[in-house]
Amino acid sequence: MEIVPIGKIHTPFQSKSDTPIQPFRSQAVASVEVFEEYAEGLSDTEGFSHIILLYVFHRSSSYQLTVKPFLEDQPRGLFATRYPARPNQIGLSVVRLLRREENVLFTEGIDVLDGTPLLDIKPYVPDFGARDNVRIGWLEGKIATPQ
Amino acid sequence: MEIVPIGKIHTPFQSKSDTPIQPFRSQAVASVEVFEEYAEGLSDTEGFSHIILLYVFHRSSSYQLTVKPFLEDQPRGLFATRYPARPNQIGLSVVRLLRREENVLFTEGIDVLDGTPLLDIKPYVPDFGARDNVRIGWLEGKIATPQ
């Protein structure tokens, strides 16, 4: 299946070393530009406090099925990580929607490189994302959980 | 960019009318088959209670930028909905991981059609998904929030 960018994400991050690891750590404001031909689909997005962005990890290339992720000494299975180099290089982030100006969404809490190709926008609803009694495997004790 | 299935999701749902609207309503068990060539990447997934599945809405075809979603009388912008027919027909679900048997993950809370092509598996961590003070726009009052 062929996928096509529907827009572009503009962020302050020009290189991987600038980029926060997880979006909740980032206060950076991004502008999510949706190309004019898709802009009609943005109606009603402004009622949501958070949205999900799907995008391409456009600067990743070949992948390995076992990786040594950031924060970790041991090699781990790729699908137990958020490592960007993957068989399908698709990333997702939940971000706060600050406002919409026509075909541009201003968002907070972004963690991607400037110029990242946008694939989709979905509304964030707690039914989708929030879960109780969560275990986080090898990440236990390695990341701060905000709640 | 070309995307390639890395596996297939087997569910009890043979038609759209069978399929639950949101995964938290579903107790159905699915088996998420990862093709042998990618199976190595599943190491360490079993430590996570929940995973995120990315997949193709393979029975959707042409999209419209304004849609009349389920639960709603009014037309809404496509990107303010989870409607499956989209410019890039990529869906995502957070599901409970019950167990792994080699290259197959058994999951609960799935809402996709049998035979859905799998694109990616990512670990679910609350840092990613859980957000406080959420507004859900036109969906307010239309869906039950479990917490």
B16-34 pLDDT, tens digit each:
776 665 555 567 899 999 9
User: What is the average pLDDT across A117-143?
Assistant: 75
The SS3 assignment for B91 reads strand
- The helix or strand, by DSSP H or E, that contains position A127, with its residue range, turns out to be helix A126-129
A82-107 residue pLDDT tens: 899 999 999 999 889 999 999 999 99
Distance CA B122, CA B119 (A): 10
Residue A21 pLDDT level (bands cut at 50, 70, 90): low
- The helix or strand, by DSSP H or E, that contains position B117, with its residue range, turns out to be strand B116-123
Residue type, B89: Q
The predicted pLDDT at position A19 comes to 66
Give me the residue from A66, A127, A144 closest to B40, CB to CB. A66
The predicted pLDDT at position A107 comes to 95
Residue A138 pLDDT level (bands cut at 50, 70, 90): confident
Distance CA A132, CA A138 (A): 18
% of chain B with per-residue pLDDT over 90: 52
Find the range with the poorest average confidence among A95-109, A133-147, B30-44. A133-147
Distance CA B63, CA A120 (A): 13
% of chain A with per-residue pLDDT over 70: 82
B59-103 residue pLDDT tens: 877 999 999 877 678 899 999 998 999 999 999 998 899 999 999
The predicted pLDDT at position B43 comes to 95
Q: Which B positions 68-107 lie with beta carbon below 8 A of chain A?
A: 76-82, 86-90, 92-94, 96
Distance CA B44, CA B123 (A): 10
Residue type, B98: L
Residue of B130, B26, B21 lying closest to A134 (CA atoms): B130
Tokens representing A81?
A: 């990580």
A130:B147 CB<8 A: yes
A79:B121 CB<8 A: yes
Instruction: Give the CA dihedral A142, A61, A93, A43, nearest 10 degrees.
Output: 180
A77:B40 CB<8 A: yes
Decide if pLDDT at B129 tops 60: no
Find the range with the poorest average confidence among A109-113, A123-127, B89-93, B140-144. B140-144
User: What is the average pLDDT across B135-140?
Assistant: 72
Give me the residue from A6, A65, A135 closest to B40, CB to CB. A65
A36-77 residue pLDDT tens: 999 999 999 998 888 999 999 988 779 999 998 776 788 999
8-state DSSP, B127: H
ipTM above 0.90, yes or no: no
The SS3 assignment for B107 reads strand
